[in-house]
Structure 1
Amino acid sequence: MSYAPAPQVPGQGLPEPVATRLRRPRWRDPRLVTGIVIVALSVALGSWVVATASRTVPVFVADGALTPGTPLTADALRTVDVRLGAGAGRYLPADEALPADLVALRVVDDGELVPLTALGADADVRSVAVPVASGLSDRIRTGAVVDLWFVPEAPVTPEPGAARPEPSTLARDVVVEQVDAEDGAIVVDGTVTLHVLVPADSLPTVLSALSDTGTVTVVPVAGGLR
């Protein structure tokens, strides 16, 4: 008597796969701790950057042009709040007492932040009044940088063959401290009086030329203000 073999069911006799379960991360897992630290540092750094960028500090600006030798007083300054970040230390802070016995060493234009490098204890210049012919360039104003030239007066009856006197430089790169004016118009009997800041070593040359027969001419320097 023969028996037919029993049909085989697919997969019968093979081990059933065991489902793996994900384990919950534990607080002591170093990878979890490292991730939390990185996220916390990123949030803190972002908050610090935003706070620093939006923070303003009070600093002084020039209330009118400051020229070399101008004493640094509260009347010559005004306060503004600006966002400077790390560059705030380069300017005169307005939340501290104003330093005493300081003067401007260079021109600080009206409304310009006052840099600490523009201040010092002494500027070796002297203010000299120079009368010049009217019709000056509009570039010659307070804070402008100019050269002073002397044009000798030509003799009325020059000698035959005599060379015409040549102009000479009196002082270079001097700063205009003030332009005499009234009601916005430059006056003084057809001439203009400029107050220029002459270096002490050029002072004898300039004063000698002003008392000589000739004309002192003011020539603006390319580049404008200092």
Structure 2
Amino acid sequence: MTSIARPPVPEPARFRRPGARDPRLLGGLVLVGASVALGSWAVTSASRTVEVYVARDVLTAGDAVGADHVSTAAVRVPADQLDHYLLAGELPEGARVSRTVGAGELVPRDALGPAESDLRPVGLAVTGALSDRVDDGSLVEVWFVPDSDARPDDAAPEAPRVLVEAATVDAVERAEGGLVGAGSATVHVLVPVDRLADVLAALASPGTVDVLPVSS
């Protein structure tokens, strides 16, 4: 009786545990380590706070800034934005703000200027309606409207003209008990020195002064 030879049965492949020098194992360990380090850095950065200056009240251009005008607060500021704000202990002596800083706002480093200022405060009596958008720190246009009754009969009427295109309001004094827009208010604006003569000349001339908010 003839027997049929069976083909040899292959031995099953044995699983080899990766050794310490296996590049795949080393790569995995590197990735895990990097993930742990990145997570730790993110948590530490998120919980890190710095002390910065905050304006107690509205600071308008030309205002002196001292310890009484600011407070400090611990806030979270990204590392790449730290240079934008004034850190506690860095307030220079005799500094002034060059633009408006709102109450409770972090004091930007670039909002500080030297003690000297080219702005002068001028009080403008406004008898007409005053917009409720005209308030401390707002930006306004100052207009002069000549009195047509004060001109000679043969003289051509003068057109209203802009005295200051963008003036910062330092303070607004409304008539006691007066409503917004009812008139009779004094608006103190900061006038550039090079426009001061024109503003004072207009105030001494027959006519009225209007203060209009600048559209944002």
Tell me the alpha carbon deviations over residues 3-50 of structure 1, each in whole angstroms, 9 at most, x when there is no partner: xx16x47xx553232233222222122332222112101111122123
Question: Are 1:45 and 2:23 counterparts?
Answer: no
Matching residue's letter, 2:47: S
Which residue number corresponds to residue 77 of structure 1?
Answer: 70
Partner of 2:94: helix, strand, or coil?
A: coil
Tell me the alpha carbon deviations over residues 95-115 of structure 1, each in whole angstroms, 9 at most, x when there is no partner: x34222221111111122211
TM-score normalized by structure 1?
A: 0.82
What does 1:68-217 correspond to in 2, within 5 Å?
68-85=61-78, 86-94=80-88, 96-121=89-114, 122-133=116-127, 135-155=129-149, 158-159=152-153, 162-181=155-174, 191-217=184-210
Distance 1:157 1:18, change over 3 A: closer
Tell me the alpha carbon deviations over residues 161-188 of structure 1, each in whole angstroms, 9 at most, x when there is no partner: 54223222211100110112587868xx
- Decide whether the 8 Å contact of 2:119 with 2:190 is kept in 1: yes
Partner of 2:41: helix, strand, or coil?
A: helix
Greater Cα radius of gyration, structure 1 or 2: 1
CA distance, structure 2, for counterparts of residue 103 and residue 18 of structure 1 = 87
2:212 to 212, 219, 225: 219
Percentage identity across aligned positions? 45
Matching residue's letter, 2:24: R
- Decide whether the 8 Å contact of 2:128 with 2:210 is kept in 1: no
Gaps of 5+ in 2: none
Partner of 1:110: helix, strand, or coil?
A: coil
Tell me the alpha carbon deviations over residues 116-141 of structure 1, each in whole angstroms, 9 at most, x when there is no partner: 12112144211112222153111111
Tell me the alpha carbon deviations over residues 51-93 of structure 1, each in whole angstroms, 9 at most, x when there is no partner: 2133322222211111001112121112222222132321111
Deviation at 1:143, TM superposition (A): 0.8
Partner of 1:155: helix, strand, or coil?
A: helix
Question: Are 1:36 and 2:29 counterparts?
Answer: yes
CA distance, structure 2, for counterparts of residue 198 and residue 157 of structure 1 = 27
CA distance, structure 2, for counterparts of residue 142 and residue 64 of structure 1 = 10
The runs of at least 4 consecutive aligned structure 1 residues that moved more than 4 Å come to 181-186
Matching residue's letter, 1:208: A
CA distance, structure 2, for counterparts of residue 72 and residue 106 of structure 1 = 12
Which residue number corresponds to residue 12 of structure 2?
Answer: 19
Gaps of 5+ in 1: none
TM-score normalized by structure 2?
A: 0.85
Distance 1:56 1:183, change over 3 A: farther
CA distance, structure 2, for counterparts of residue 184 and residue 118 of structure 1 = 35
Partner of 1:177: helix, strand, or coil?
A: strand
Matching residue's letter, 1:41: A
Aligned residues: 211
CA distance, structure 2, for counterparts of residue 98 and residue 162 of structure 1 = 56
CA distance, structure 2, for counterparts of residue 220 and residue 182 of structure 1 = 19
